[in-house]
Structure 1
């Protein structure tokens, strides 16, 4: 990733070239599971999402599939303009509401179910109509979800999740069964255009319609995999009745498309197999992003993913038919393993209020005004100081360039991982015991860069992992170098 503050000027130039006017505001959009960097740019008349991605091959795939999908009237964002080096692009702003957001806000309402149905209707067109015309040489990375790709998913799951748990299993026998099941699943037909990561966070709700985003990973593969990805998304926890009705709705959509009639029984049989594979792939991804990279959102997703796995195994006693793999999956979805990832979540009854301060040691440690006092004070001065570098002096720990410097050029990540481990112990205990206050303070020389970044990251961590809101105060902000 670029380690200079060059993103904004390039995106502002693209905005001006396309709209004929400069944006009045430009703000970073929080990153999720990718290394792409997003900004929201706007003025009184226009708005857009600016994107930077160092991987040009991935961008080219996104550009190609965007054109293909829009040709077939599939709802995806319009790409307004791309930079000359193809690392930057400006695309349509579809707002901030995803289908997952709407599900969390409205629950299992009729309107939410309708959005799911519309999503599957658009998916059917993407897979079976646009897929007939797709040039799979335009796919980024893997072009086909075949035996080799399926085996990679199993191994990803094995190395990054199963092997990290405290359970005993025969790794040689498991490896032999992985070879066999990968061959079986790789033979399943038909193979159309597969979205690969079709889940409710990649579906935007905009002006009453559903729009798809983040389809860079499209490839040729089994269409059932995408349906399984949406209906069995871990944190969505859709009711079984919904899953059944929406699968029926998807098949109905296929029967309305201008194509040969499908073998419904064969499609349903393949669907069950790919539900199992998707559950495994997700656990591998959560293991890598959560247990290795320590991203709180992915750690908090492991428990519901294991719950999904247990539900599937209980409802499908013959899948997978390989005894060693099934035995391993049953062990991993046990109550004991799930409990180790089942963190408490804040709700309307949660009393705990966390106050996070950044401060300058020149001004002293902030006082805790709560009834009981106490809390944490972390000294960030052992981390390299961006404030000593001319280009960062007038920025703060909230600016993208400073954040990139701290993430890529310092040991801030290691520092914060240890902070999270200590703070989490107290947060979980205080939530369980009904305590009402905790203070966490981060100090550095000027209270502008390192401490500010650390405070903001802790706020995000507590929200992602516990859904716990925090109060953040940058106590030396009035004295920041301008």
Structure 2
């Protein structure tokens, strides 16, 4: 990490002619790219006050991003300016659009007229990016395939099959399903309007700054149908847009895109194929959640599955694609059945739930905490197999709640894998105890001094259980509270 930050500082010095005031790591999303915010000195006026530094070892992906940014900017599209790239091509500075995404605005303000106007602005600029901006794209620069055609559609369908459908252990006719995939991909390939396809156009990748919208993460783009990006945005699981918003915003997009094309769009034909792309997008997202959650063991992706399934259920009951795919329909019916929804929907505690989960961090040198409930049992997790931040001089006076220590544990140790396994085991007990009306469960995390690893792990589990189950938590950091290093009124991140 230190080498990456040093490279960023060197690149900033080369760009701005002065040293950076601060380099701060930003939260990492689903990709392997690492983002940092570089802050300049207040006295500088010739350069941006802040920029985003990106580190990415995938040079082909970087080169695609550079090429697409240059082409789209030449047509007035609201995308990133790349400011400078290092010689290795793995680190670059880009324009900073801030931290507020359209999804953030929606979650903060709800379904208001102001937010609706931002969705309209996004769709209008999307049409411009696809049709006008796409005319400047050299599709030989695409990261994977040049076109989202039949093969790419089949790939998304198989992605859903392997990483989600097959995990459900549902007995289906494999050949009949593949035949339906073939028919659907052929049907969707036959479209007359193929332009630049953003590929991951959703409110999380639309930044809002001073009332204007800007696009990020478009390096996966390719030639494709206009409908795909609209479907991606309007059917994003976390956004949960009302049906009337989806319908009216789709009509708005059709009108705006028609203004940029030689011939206006035929709404009926556009919507028929749009519904097919809605389905493709919903399935691709479920495949991604399955891959990230089941195979990469990233628990946060599993919590998004119920939203995606509810989206899929509404679509299968209301959408019409204009093509018969009987075996596929049967599989989708099972995926959206109450049995499957219940399987992924976490059981929620309510005011009448007696369960209280006691979570402790402690030092093995002082002994394992006693269970005062009289029930005995519970969990004791040994964090000493995780690389110890306490061996590093700068961390010796810090705890597992300090940002530098948390970054170290998340990025340079096996703590994320360790916690994924912890979550899997504890979730089983919490679910069962809520169902059976049990009153207590104790979970203890121990390390050498009860200062770094155990504190971080205890906080992480408390946050996970509150977010997933809404269960009551009693959190105690035994060693640190004894030393008064931690304020007892400290709120867990994400706690209301």
What is the SS of the residue equivalent to 2:54?
strand
- Separation in 1 of the partners of 2:438 and 2:322? 46
Distance change (3 Å), C-alpha of 1:146 and 1:22: same
Distance change (3 Å), C-alpha of 1:435 and 1:104: farther
Distance change (3 Å), C-alpha of 1:43 and 1:368: farther
**Of 337, 342, 346, which residue of structure 1 is paired with 2:345?**
342
Alpha-carbon shift at residue 308 of structure 1 (Å): 1.1
CA contact (8 A) 2:275 2:321 kept: no
- In the other structure, the counterpart of 1:239 is 242
CA contact (8 A) 2:272 2:322 kept: no
What is the SS of the residue equivalent to 2:132?
helix
- In the other structure, the counterpart of 1:175 is 178
CA contact (8 A) 2:361 2:477 kept: yes
CA contact (8 A) 1:15 1:22 kept: yes
- In the other structure, the counterpart of 2:412 is 405
What is the SS of the residue equivalent to 2:277?
helix
**Of 10, 14, 19, which residue of structure 2 is paired with 1:13?**
10
Alpha-carbon shift at residue 361 of structure 1 (Å): 2.7
Alpha-carbon shift at residue 352 of structure 1 (Å): 8.3
TM-score (structure 2 length as normaliser): 0.83
- Separation in 2 of the partners of 1:78 and 1:469? 47
What is the SS of the residue equivalent to 2:344?
coil
- In the other structure, the counterpart of 1:102 is 105
- In the other structure, the counterpart of 1:90 is 93
CA contact (8 A) 1:193 1:218 kept: yes
Alpha-carbon shift at residue 73 of structure 1 (Å): 2.1
Give yes or no for the alignment of 1:36 onto 2:43: no
Alpha-carbon shift at residue 400 of structure 1 (Å): 4.2
**Of 321, 328, 333, which residue of structure 1 is paired with 2:331?**
328
| Matched pairs, number | 473
- In the other structure, the counterpart of 2:492 is none
The root-mean-square deviation of aligned C-alpha atoms, in Å, is: 3.6
- Separation in 1 of the partners of 2:67 and 2:245? 33
CA contact (8 A) 2:381 2:444 kept: yes
- In the other structure, the counterpart of 2:53 is 50
Alpha-carbon shift at residue 111 of structure 1 (Å): 0.9
What is the SS of the residue equivalent to 1:340?
helix
Alpha-carbon shift at residue 8 of structure 1 (Å): 1.4
Give yes or no for the alignment of 1:261 onto 2:264: yes
- In the other structure, the counterpart of 1:279 is 282
Alpha-carbon shift at residue 59 of structure 1 (Å): 0.9
Distance change (3 Å), C-alpha of 1:391 and 1:352: same
Summarize the alignment of residues 29-428 of structure 1 with structure 2, pairs less than 5 Å apart.
29-43=26-40, 45=42, 46-257=49-260, 259-316=262-319, 321-344=324-347, 358-362=361-365, 376-383=379-386, 385=388, 398=405, 400=407, 402-407=409-414, 412-428=415-431
Distance change (3 Å), C-alpha of 1:435 and 1:123: farther
Q: Deviations over 1:121-176 (max 9, x none)?
A: 11001100011121011111222101111111111111111111132211121122
Alpha-carbon shift at residue 56 of structure 1 (Å): 0.7
CA contact (8 A) 1:396 1:449 kept: yes
What is the SS of the residue equivalent to 2:413?
helix
TM-score (structure 1 length as normaliser): 0.86
Distance change (3 Å), C-alpha of 1:206 and 1:427: farther
When structure 1 is superposed on structure 2, of 119-128 and 79-88 the one drifting more is: 79-88
Distance change (3 Å), C-alpha of 1:246 and 1:369: farther
- Separation in 1 of the partners of 2:435 and 2:392? 44
**Of 22, 26, 43, which residue of structure 1 is paired with 2:23?**
26
Runs of at least 5 residues in structure 1 that lack an aligned partner in the other structure: none
Alpha-carbon shift at residue 459 of structure 1 (Å): 5.5
CA contact (8 A) 2:72 2:137 kept: no
Q: Deviations over 1:36-66 (max 9, x none)?
A: 1112232553222221111010011111112
Runs of at least 5 residues in structure 2 that lack an aligned partner in the other structure: 43-48, 486-496
Alpha-carbon shift at residue 189 of structure 1 (Å): 2.8
- Separation in 2 of the partners of 1:327 and 1:208? 45
When structure 1 is superposed on structure 2, of 256-265 and 341-350 the one drifting more is: 341-350
Task: Determine which structure has greater relative contact order: mean sequence separation of CA pairs < 8 Å that are 6+ residues apart, divided by chain length.
Answer: 1
CA contact (8 A) 2:272 2:320 kept: no
